[in-house]
Amino acid sequence: MNRGAEQKPGEVRPPGQEGQGARYTTFTRGEDGKALLQVTELRGDKLHGDSVLLSPQGQEVQRASFYDGVLDGEVVRNGEDGQVVLRQHYQEGKLHGEMLVYSMGKVRLRQTYAFGLLEGPMLVYSETGRVGVEVPFKSGKRQGDAKYFTPEGLLFRCEPYVDDKLHGEVFEYDERGAVRKRTVFQAGAQKDSPVLFDERGRETKKSREPPFIVKLAKLLRKPLGG
């Protein structure tokens, strides 16, 4: 369905609200198995307008916008305390625009979609609000340098990606910003053992066992929701 002018990637278009029909109320269950009251707007036999999930106490759990049967507009989910935990946008059934994940009222994850594909930087924030992880995406694939930061905001690891695969030199840094470790990858495969450097930047020896941070980085490289 084409209801507007050509858009730029990541630009959010407000959903159409014309022709709203009657409201329909039913019961459903959330992911935790709890009963929820669902209040939806219909046009004919299709969802069209707002669809709201309410707890037995009447608290709004989720609000989503539909157009002609498919998600189109903002989706907001709230936690048991009433605070927003997720805010995302859809267009014609696909994630499109900024997605925010919250914890304790603070943004912990920020990423942007363009018609269902990740586009631009994915940012993971620490409890202090600093960026802890920054991963660039292009058309749904990691493309460019992924960066990992300490809680103090210092860069401690940098990974180059080409077409969603590690490709090039991966560096790890100390608190002074000096390179302490270098590992070379080619098309996702590690070419050789990592090289370690001393405080003066001199090559010391090759590491044989990957440290904990490498395991952590592997976990962070897994696709979200996969």
| pLDDT computed for residue 21 by the predictor | 57
- Tens-place pLDDT, residues 153-162: 999 999 999 9
Rounded to 5°, the CA angle 123-120-63 comes to 70
Using alpha carbons, select from 185, 212, 207 the residue that is nearest to residue 196: 207
pLDDT digits (tens, 9 = 90+) for 80-138: 899 999 999 999 999 999 999 999 999 999 999 999 999 999 999 998 899 999 999 99
Least confident range from 52-56, 83-87, 141-145, 202-206: namely 202-206
Instruction: Identify the pLDDT of residue 226.
Output: 44
How far apart are the C-alpha atoms of 170 and 176, rounded to whole Å?
Answer: 17
pLDDT at residue 217, as a whole number: 60
| 201: phi then psi, degrees, rounded to nearest 5 | 85, 10
| CA 80 vs CA 15, 51, 101: distances in Å | 27, 19, 15
Q: For residues 37 and 39, give the distance between their C-alpha atoms in angstroms, rounded to a whole number.
A: 7
If phi over 0 gives left and psi between -120 and 50 gives alpha, with beta otherwise, what is residue 31? Answer: alpha
pLDDT tens for each residue of 8-36: 444 444 443 334 456 778 888 877 777 88
pTM of the model: 0.78
User: What is the tens place of the pLDDT at every residue in 205-219?
Assistant: 665 545 555 555 666
Mean pLDDT of the chain: 85
Residue 212: strand, helix, or coil: helix
Q: Count the residues in the chain.
A: 226
Which uninterrupted H or E stretch holds 103? strand 97-103
Please answer whether residues 25 and 38 qualify as being in contact, where contact means their C-beta atoms are separated by less than 8 angstroms. Answer: yes
Going by their DSSP bridges, the two strands 165-166 and 155-162 should be labelled as antiparallel
* 191 φ/ψ angles, rounded to the nearest 5 degrees: -80, -35
